[in-house]
């Protein structure tokens, strides 16, 4: 009986369902991934720095809203200039919308004049599922201690039209300002919007 219990416990601990869901105020789920240049990155590498995770898909009209307008690039540039680590993550599976090779990801960064610290390739969807990423874009802000401080939408305008950016409340910019100042994030969790992540 004890042996059966031990086996069941081991299976439960190894089961994907046993992985803790991302929770604001708790340590962000750890991960290791290879970027578009073939370099490996782990979340633990960035302890002591604020980190933004951005799920992206260049073919998604909601993602295009933020890139074609320059909104995402401006946010990336301001954040990285302030010392924030910005990781754009592509979880599209091979053959699905938004899937790119490392070289294609680099070309996108150049053509879109984007400013991420790195573009992480997640074709198996391991990181996406770990973070329960559902849409592109979907955003996470992690503080210097590795604690998740914001997750959800980039702003409060869940439509694909660039015109909606006028007067939009940018949750990520506000969260970064609060974390940088050591203050609680006023809106720490929102409903993400966009295209479904193409696992």
pLDDT value of residue 20: 77
Alpha carbon distances (Å) from 175 to 119, 141, 188: 21, 7, 7
Structure tokens at 64: 């295009």
pLDDT value of residue 35: 98
Q: What value does the mean pLDDT take over residues 44-67?
A: 98
Binned at pLDDT 50, 70 and 90, residue 17 comes out as: very low
pLDDT value of residue 7: 35
Closest Cα to residue 79, out of 180, 190, 193, 182? Answer: 180
Which of the listed CATH numbers 3.40.30.10, 3.40.50.720, 3.30.365.10, 3.40.50.11740 matches domain 22-196?
3.40.30.10
- For 85, the 3-state DSSP assignment is strand
Binned at pLDDT 50, 70 and 90, residue 4 comes out as: very low
72-84 pLDDT tens trace:
999 999 999 999 9
Domain ranges of the chain: 22-196
For residue 102, pLDDT beyond 60: yes
- For 127, the 3-state DSSP assignment is helix
Structure tokens at 113: 């004049």
For residue 8, pLDDT beyond 50: no
Unique residue bearing structure tokens 């540039």 = 77
Segment 13-21 long-range contacts (CB within 8 Å, at least 24 positions apart): 16/129, 19/130, 21/132
- pTM equals 0.90
Percentage, residues of the chain above pLDDT 70: 90
Q: What mean pLDDT, rounded, does the chain reach?
A: 92
171-199 pLDDT tens trace:
999 999 999 999 999 999 999 999 999 99
Q: What does the alpha-carbon distance between residue 178 and residue 192 come to, in Å, rounded to a whole number? A: 20
Contact 141, 133 (CB under 8 A): no
For residue 67, pLDDT beyond 60: yes
């Amino acid at each position: 009986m004890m042996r059966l219990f031990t086996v069941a416990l081991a299976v439960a601990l190894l089961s994907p369902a046993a992985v803790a869901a991302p929770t604001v105020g708790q340590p962000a789920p750890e991960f290791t991934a290879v970027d578009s240049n073939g370099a490996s990155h782990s979340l633990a590498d960035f302890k002591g720095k604020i980190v933004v995770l951005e799920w992206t898909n260049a073919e998604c009209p909601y993602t295009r809203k933020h890139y074609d307008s320059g909104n995402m690039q401006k946010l990336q540039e301001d954040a990285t200039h302030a010392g924030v680590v910005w990781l754009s993550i592509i979880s599209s599976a091979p053959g699905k919308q938004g899937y790119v090779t490392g070289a294609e990801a680099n070309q996108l960064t150049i053509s879109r004049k984007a400013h991420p610290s790195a573009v992480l390739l997640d074709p198996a969807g391991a990181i996406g599922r770990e973070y329960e990423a559902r849409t592109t874009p979907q955003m996470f802000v992690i503080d210097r201690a590795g604690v998740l401080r914001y997750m959800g939408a980039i702003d409060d305008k869940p439509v694909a039209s660039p015109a909606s950016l006028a007067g939009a409340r940018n949750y990520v910019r506000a969260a970064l300002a609060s974390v940088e100042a050591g203050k609680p994030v006023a809106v720490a969790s929102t409903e993400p919007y966009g295209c479904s992540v193409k696992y």
